[in-house]
């Protein structure tokens, strides 16, 4: 099968695969907001309902309306608000959050939770979505999940599986006509190069951030992922933050995500970063566009 290039008349399309509601707003949100406003059909796909997430906003921890029973519905409401702010489409895969096990030894994951499912079985609804939405680009997490949450690691696994299986005409024809996604990216949001650049800028201004400096001590730059693609999101930082704050049970609005001024981010490192993991079309690296190689010449070069 040859990758189907977009025609001049059709919009570009992408899917961003995430583990839980709120991940779409903390990882790659500036990029999806930008692309949506540029006319790209962006769909966020959330694998689980985030049912086992903790209430991290101190203002809501003692709120009697926020209970383990009401949290699933609340998280759906929060996701709908974040979706509206980002300007993207959204779909649920419908799996159950696996939680983040703690202890030594680690306890087993809950039965029938997302991370316990066979990869091909868990990939089926994503295959159906890919064949129906026909994205040109997919974004997901690296093989370590970006950080080692079992649902994030499983998200990587089913994304890779769906990338292959959606294109295979022999696999589950009942899930739709085969579709080849042209490019698969890993979101590379947490790396030492970015943290170090922001820290240097803050120190130069005489306003060092202690939390950031402590984080830098735990990061080894030699372990940074490859940065192949950097998307300018300087005009979308406020939208990103508003979307993240929409997940009120999951985010402290005064927490560390919001303590670095946008002016500092803009000056020190104004991009969201990706690793091009698989491409079925010719590419020239580095890139400043997830759709590099897919745009028609008459659209002009993307700044």
Do the Cβ atoms of 25 and 51 come closer than 8 Å?
A: no
Contact 86, 32 (CB under 8 A): yes
Taken in order 280, 285, 290, 291, the sign of the CA dihedral is negative
Number of other CB atoms surrounding residue 138 within 10 Å: 27
Nearest to 141 by CA among 126, 129, 159: 159
Non-local CB neighbours of 302 within 8 Å, separated by 6+ positions: 288, 289, 291, 292, 295
Within 8 A by CB and 6+ apart from 218, the residues are none
Q: In 171-185, which positions are buried (b, 16+ CB within 10 angstroms) versus exposed (e)?
A: bbeebbebbbbbbbb
User: Is residue 23 part of an annotated ligand binding site?
Assistant: yes
95 forms bridges with which residues in the sheet?
Answer: 48
Across the strands, what pairs with 272? Answer: 231
Q: How far apart are CA 14 and CA 36, in angstroms?
A: 10
The CA-to-CA distance between both ends of the chain, in Å, stands at: 32
Question: Does residue 149 have a known ligand-binding role?
Answer: no
Residue 262 annotated as part of some ligand binding site: no
- Cα distances from 260 to residues 10, 26, 201, 240, in angstroms, run 39, 14, 11, 13
Residues annotated in the binding site for Zn(2+), as ranges? 20, 23, 152
Residues annotated in the binding site, as ranges? 20, 23, 152
């Amino acid at each position: 099968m040859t990758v189907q290039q977009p025609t001049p008349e059709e919009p570009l399309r992408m899917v961003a695969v995430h583990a839980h509601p709120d991940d779409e707003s903390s990882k790659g949100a500036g990029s999806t907001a930008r692309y949506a406003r540029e006319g790209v059909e962006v769909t966020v796909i959330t694998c689980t309902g985030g049912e086992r997430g903790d209430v991290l906003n101190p203002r809501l921890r003692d709120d009697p309306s926020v209970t383990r029973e009401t949290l699933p519905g609340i998280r759906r409401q929060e996701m709908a608000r974040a979706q509206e702010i980002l300007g993207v489409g959204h779909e649920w895969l419908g799996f159950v959050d696996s939680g983040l096990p703690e202890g030594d030894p680690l306890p087993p994951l809950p039965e029938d939770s997302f991370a316990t499912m066979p990869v091909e079985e868990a990939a089926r609804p994503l295959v159906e979505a890919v064949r129906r939405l026909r994205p040109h680009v997919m974004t997901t997490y690296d093989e370590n999940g970006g950080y080692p949450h079992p649902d994030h690691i499983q998200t990587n696994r089913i994304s890779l599986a769906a990338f292959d299986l959606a294109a295979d005409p022999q696999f589950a024809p009942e899930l739709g006509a085969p579709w080849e996604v042209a490019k698969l990216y890993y979101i590379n949001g947490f790396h030492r190069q970015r943290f170090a650049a922001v820290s240097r800028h803050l120190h130069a201004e005489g306003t060092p951030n202690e939390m950031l400096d402590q984080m830098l001590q735990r990061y080894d730059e030699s372990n940074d992922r490859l940065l192949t693609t950097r998307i300018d999101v300087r005009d979308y930082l406020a939208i990103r933050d508003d979307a993240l704050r929409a997940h009120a049970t999951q985010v402290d609005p005064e927490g560390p995500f919001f303590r670095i001024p946008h002016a500092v981010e803009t000056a020190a490192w104004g991009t969201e970063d990706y690793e091009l993991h698989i491409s079925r079309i010719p590419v020239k690296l580095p890139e400043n566009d997830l759709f590099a190689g897919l745009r028609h010449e008459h659209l002009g070069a993307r700044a």
